[in-house]
Amino acid sequence: MISKAIKTVLFFLSLSITLSAENMQQQFEQAGQYYKNKKLDESIKKYEDILSAGYESAELYYNLGNAYFKANNLAAAILNYERAKKLFPADEDILFNLTLSNFKVVDKIEPIPQLFYKRWWNNMQTSNSFEGWARSSLILLWLALIGAIIFLFSITINSRKIAFFTGSAAFILALLFLNFAYQQYRLDTDKDYAIVFEQSTYIKSAPDESSVDIFVLHEGVKLEVIDKLGEWQKIRLADGKTGWVPQEHIILI
Amino acid sequence: MKYLLNILFLLFAISLFAQDAKFTASVNKNKVGLNETFKITFSLNKNGNKFNAPSFKDFFVLSGPNQSSNMQFINGNVSQTISFSYMLKPRAVGKYTIGSASIETDGNKILSNKVSIEVTKSKTTPQANQQQQNKDIYKQIGENLFIKAKVDKTNVYQGEQIVVTYKVYTRVSVVNYAINKIPKLSGFWAQDINLSGQISLHTENIDGVNYNTGVLKKTILFPQKSGKLEIDPLAMECLVRVKTQSRRKSIWDDFFDDPFFGRSKDVKYVAASNPIRINVRSLPEANKPSNFKGAVGKLSMKASLNNTETKANEAVTYKIIISGKGNLKLIEPPELNLSKDVEIYDPEIVDNISATSAGMSGKRTIEYLLIPRYKGEYKIPGISFSYFDLTKKDYVTLSTPEYILKVTEGDEAPGTGITGVGKEDVQFIGKDIRFIKTGKQEFKKKGEYFFGSLTFFILLSFPFLAFAGMIFYKKRYDKLSADTLLLKRRKANKIARKRLLIAKKYLKESKKEAFYEEISRALWGYVSDKFNIQLADLSKDKVKDILVNKKVKEPLIDAVINTLDKCEFARFAPGSDSMEMENVYTSTIKLISELEETI
């Protein structure tokens, strides 16, 4: 009797989820139509509705970024491209539009150069999202398992040899990818990045309105948030400069 | 030879002549009264340059250097004179020496003689009649024509304004006048007050004597350094008409004693004002604001922005007005501390300042042209400006409010005016973003990740667990299979012995059939267990093969086969004796123990 009740509840729950998923797909397509017809405000609203329902996808962020870009809201465009990139770092369209938008940012910030092997390593790590790394790592791990089974229970020497080498290679790669996934996950979740949303904002030397202005940033600049004090955020730029900014001037990615 | 000597002599004469340059200093009198003026002349009988006057520190220089030169041809000889003259007036009673002046002629530097001057309090003793007469005239004029300098205060702060008034007092008729020495006023910043053209004369009574007075000049002075400063005198050269004194008194004198009748002459007279000492106090160091730049007086400041909202790249004007009384003209435009995105042009300064007897007052307007380059909100911070308030005798800091300039998007696209486009940026110029993505979407809950989820951990740990399980299983299986074999082998002997025991029982009971069956079972069973071969698969040939394989000796194998044959045969053969059974029993025991030893 009770189990039956639970079953029906579960059924309706799953029904409602699938319904809203269909609904979202519909909204997503509608927003795309608005975008095509240059009705940017409606398009943005539709996309934002899906987001506010608590769902996301790289394509959704990408499209929203495009709509903002067309509506001349550079900061919001960059914010959404960055969010899309976080979910799907290897997507060429996302990277292209993000680079193009960054070109329109007034401040040109030169990142501190890194040693070449560190750069390669970072490039490799950031070429996939942590979700992607996690998935590939699992696939390789299961491959290694199959190799192990063959190795243990095969009778012929040759098949055991092949299974041993492919299995251990898959296992090592799996561990590497798992490490990437973890690093990338930490990078994405522990480190907070933000985008400047004010047309121009003064970066102060201290979390205080009356302190000295160190430099000025313009909308769309990406920065790292390293500390917080009251209404003030301590930020660091890619070139290593730090300062304090009122938190309402930036939005976290 | 004689000719040569002549030439030498001539050359000597010329050189003598060349050395004949004389540079002399002379005064028109060397005994002067305190109020008198005298003239010093330095003259050179050649052409010279780089004249360098001695110091006249004990005298006021009323005029000079006045340079004159003349050239004369007398009997074919050219004589040239160059002279420099000064009009001097003593500062105090005493004996003074005027040092040498120097001049360069023909590349040589020559010094003049020194001149000593005696300054007396009273008038000098007449030396000659004519001179006496002139003295009298000068004295007379001096009593009736003088210039007085007056200041409104003598004890001031540095930067505080002083109004100095030069007034002429006269009881003689002045035909013509010219101010020929304007005070140098070192240590002051001066601003002349504009007086309306002609000097208007008034009558003023000094000690019962009426004088015609007129203001010659009014200047506002701002002391630029502290200490005792001196306003040096102003000198005026006047042409004074004086009556000539006749020797004889006649009845006509009175009648003709009139300028109209020419019984008068014009005398040049230099009138000089009195020097004034001003005590300038430096401004107090206590409470001196860091932004104090020397403004003194009573001032106020206003700032205004003509527009608080504008478009990018469109100018706004930011105006600062400083008004009041004080050294307004010395106020420098304050520095604006604005965002780098706002271009600031050099300020335009418009003065509306009047210099009157009351001092300098008015306003100075400083206008900045600001051009914001990007859209946004810009802060125009308030300006603070400090001055020394003379009434409060303290510093006052004025400040203006902060302005917020709202800049909306300009007509030009933002980003114009960016310089330094990198090589890699060029490829993006004129390009548009890529089109949106369409198609079936897989939305996932925000913040829900596969990585770190339960499914992930299960999928991650399963292969490890499975691997560990497999290893464990294989190990156990291997061990187990190894164990049963060992057990069987170890048990083979035991079982055989058990069967033999049973056989012995049958032997005692003389159950022939059962006895032989047990014996053959013991043998067959032993081989089966020992070599892990099913009983059903066994045959005598197979046993023989296995034993050969195990390298059992030929007679032993034959014995085993023989015993098995015997058992088979005896089971079905009728009538046998116990002796035979006894033999088979002992030989079987012997066989099994022998097999046990060899295998």
- Amino acid in the structure at residue B551: K
Nearest-angstrom CA–CA distance, A183 and A189:
10
- Please list every residue in chain B whose beta carbon sits closer than 8 Å to the beta carbon of residue A130: 449, 451
Contact A96 B441 (CB under 8 A): no
Q: What is the distance between the alpha carbons of residues B83 and B101, in angstroms, rounded to a whole number?
A: 12
Bridge partners (DSSP) listed for residue B42: B25, B84
Q: Looking at CA atoms only, how far is residue B452 from chain A in angstroms? A: 9
Contact (Cβ atoms closer than 8 angstroms) between residue B32 and residue B118? yes
% of chain B surpassing 70 pLDDT: 84
Whether B468 contacts chain A with CB within 8 A: no
- Of B184, B182, B173, the C-alpha closest to B238 is B173
Question: What pLDDT shows up at residue A170?
Answer: 92
Q: Give the dihedral sign, CA A50/A51/A57/A61.
A: positive
Counted residue by residue, chain B has a size of 599
- Which residues neighbour B134 within 8 Å (Cβ) at sequence distance 6 or greater? none
CB atoms B441 and A28 under 8 Å: yes
Is the pLDDT reported for residue A22 higher than 50? yes
pLDDT of res. B423: 46
How far apart (Å, rounded) are the C-alpha atoms in residues B147 and B35? 12
Q: How confident is the model at residue A169 (pLDDT cuts 50, 70, 90)?
A: very high
Could you say which of A59, A93, A135 has the minimum Cβ distance to residue B450?
A135
Exposed (0-12), middle (13-18) or buried (19+): which is B205, by Cβ within 10 Å?
Answer: exposed
Residues 6+ positions from B353 with CB-CB distance below 8 Å: B328, B329, B360, B361, B362, B363, B364
B238 closest CA partner among B199, B266, B211, B200: B266
Nearest CA among B152, B124, B177, B151 for reference residue B233: B151
Query: pLDDT tens-digit profile of B557-582?
Result: 888 888 888 887 777 776 666 777 88
Residue B414: what pLDDT?
42
Burial class (CB in 10 A: 0-12, 13-18, 19+), B287: exposed
Write down the pLDDT at residue A172: 93
Q: How confident is the model at residue A173 (pLDDT cuts 50, 70, 90)?
A: very high
Give which of B55, B62, B67, B69 is closest to B100, Cα–Cα.
Answer: B55
**Distance from the A236 Cα atom to the nearest Cα atom in chain B, whole angstroms:** 20
Q: b/e map of B248-281 (b: 16 or more CB within 10 Å)?
A: eeeeeeeeeeeeeeeebeebebbbbbeebebebe
pLDDT grade for B248, boundaries at 50, 70 and 90: very low
Kindly identify which residue of chain A lies nearest to residue B473, measuring between CA atoms: A152
Question: Which residue has better confidence, B339 or B521?
Answer: B521
What digits encode the pLDDT tens for the residues B404-428? 888 887 665 444 334 444 445 555 6
Judged by CB atoms closer than 8 Å, whether chains meet at A138 and B449 is answered as: no
Least confident of A99-108, B214-223, B237-246: B237-246
Residues of chain B contacting residue A198, judged by C-beta atoms under 8 Å apart: 376-377
- Say what the pLDDT of residue B587 is: 84
| Residue B433 scores a pLDDT above 90 | no
Cα B429 from chain centroid (whole Å): 36
Alpha-carbon distance of B404 to B316, in angstroms, equals 12
Residues from chain A that touch B379, judged by Cβ atoms under 8 A, are 202
> Touching check for B472 and chain A: CB below 8 Å?
no
User: Which of B378, B422, B463 is facing A144, going by the closest CB pair?
Assistant: B463
HSE of B461, CA atoms in CB hemisphere, 13 A: 6
**C-alpha to C-alpha distance for B172 and B194, rounded to whole angstroms:** 26
Cβ pair B339:A29 closer than 8 A: no
Please answer whether residues B270 and B169 qualify as being in contact, where contact means their C-beta atoms are separated by less than 8 angstroms: no
Enumerate the residues of chain A whose CB falls inside 8 A of the CB of residue B436.
32, 35, 62-63, 66-67
Pairing relationship of beta strands B403-408 and B309-311 according to DSSP bridges: parallel
Spatial separation of the C-alpha atoms in residues A187 and A176, rounded to whole Å: 16
Which residues in chain B are closer than 8 Å to A17, comparing Cβ atoms?
none
Interval B136-155 mean pLDDT: 81
pLDDT of residue B89 exceeding 80? yes
In angstroms, the CA A234 to CA A194 distance is 11
Those residues whose C-beta lies under 8 Å from the C-beta of residue A22, and which sit 6 or more positions away, are none
Phi-psi domain of B276 (left: phi exceeds 0; alpha: psi -120 through 50; beta: other): beta
CA dihedral sign of residues A160, A163, A165, A168: negative
Provide Rg for chain A, Cα atoms: 24
Q: Are A134 and A178 in contact (CB under 8 A)?
A: yes
Instruction: State yes or no: pLDDT of B7 exceeds 80.
Output: no
Chain A contact for B404 (CB, 8 A cutoff): no
Interchain CB distance below 8 Å, A96 and B445: no
B60-74, B192-206, B304-318: least confident range? B192-206
Residue-averaged pLDDT of chain A: 83
**Sequence-ordered list of residues with C-beta below 8 angstroms from that of A117, at least 6 positions apart, any chain:** none
Name A162's bridge partners. Answer: none
**Residue corresponding to tokens 């400006």:** B385
Nearest to A128 by CA among A185, A171, A78: A185
Tokens describing residue A180: 């990437």
Mean pLDDT, residues B499-513: 82
Taking the C-alpha atoms of residue A135 and residue A126, their distance in angstroms, rounded to an integer, is 15
* Minimum Cα–Cα distance from A63: chain B residue: B436
Q: Are strands B31-33 and B115-120 parallel, antiparallel or unpaired?
A: parallel
B145-180: burial string, b at 16+ Cβ within 10 Å, e else: bbbebebeeeebbbbbbbbbbbbbbbebebeebebb
Distance from CA of B487 to the nearest CA of A (A): 25
pLDDT tens for B522-536 read 888 888 877 777 777
pLDDT above 60: residue B253: no
For B358, half-sphere exposure in the C-beta direction (CA atoms, 13 angstrom radius) is 6
Amino acid at residue number A244: W
Q: What is the four-CA torsion angle of A155, A158, A163, A168, rounded to 10 degrees? A: 120
- CA-based end-to-end distance of chain A: 48
Q: Give the C-alpha separation, A249 to A194, whole Å.
A: 10
Q: Give how far the C-alpha of residue B19 lies from the chain's centroid of Cα atoms, to the nearest Å.
A: 63
Pairing of the two strands B292-305 and B384-389: parallel
Please list the alpha-helical segments (H only) found in B399-453: 423-426
Q: What percent of chain A has pLDDT over 90?
A: 8
Give the integer Cα–Cα distance in Å for B143 and B136: 11
Q: Which of A5-14, B333-342, B522-531 has the lowest mean pLDDT?
A: A5-14
Q: Are strands A213-218 and B31-33 parallel, antiparallel or unpaired?
A: unpaired
Count how many pairs of residues, chain A against chain B, have C-beta atoms within 8 Å.
121
The C-alpha atoms of residue A193 and residue A79 are separated, in whole angstroms, by 10
Q: Is the pLDDT of residue B515 over 50?
A: yes
Closest to B354 (Cα-Cα) out of B328, B318, B382: B328
Contacts of B390 (CB under 8 A, 6+ apart): B157, B160, B296, B297, B298
Please compute the mean of the pLDDT values over residues B442-454 and round it to a whole number: 79
**3-state SS string for B514-581:** HHHHHHHHHHHHHHHHHHCCCHHHCCHHHHHHHHHHCCCCHHHHHHHHHHHHHHHHHHHCCCCCHHHH
Average pLDDT, chain B: 78
Looking at residues A229-247, what average pLDDT do you find?
Answer: 86
- Pick the range with the lowest mean pLDDT from A170-174, B354-358, B398-402: B354-358
d(CA B58, CA B312) in angstroms, rounded, equals: 67
Which pLDDT belongs to residue A16? 46
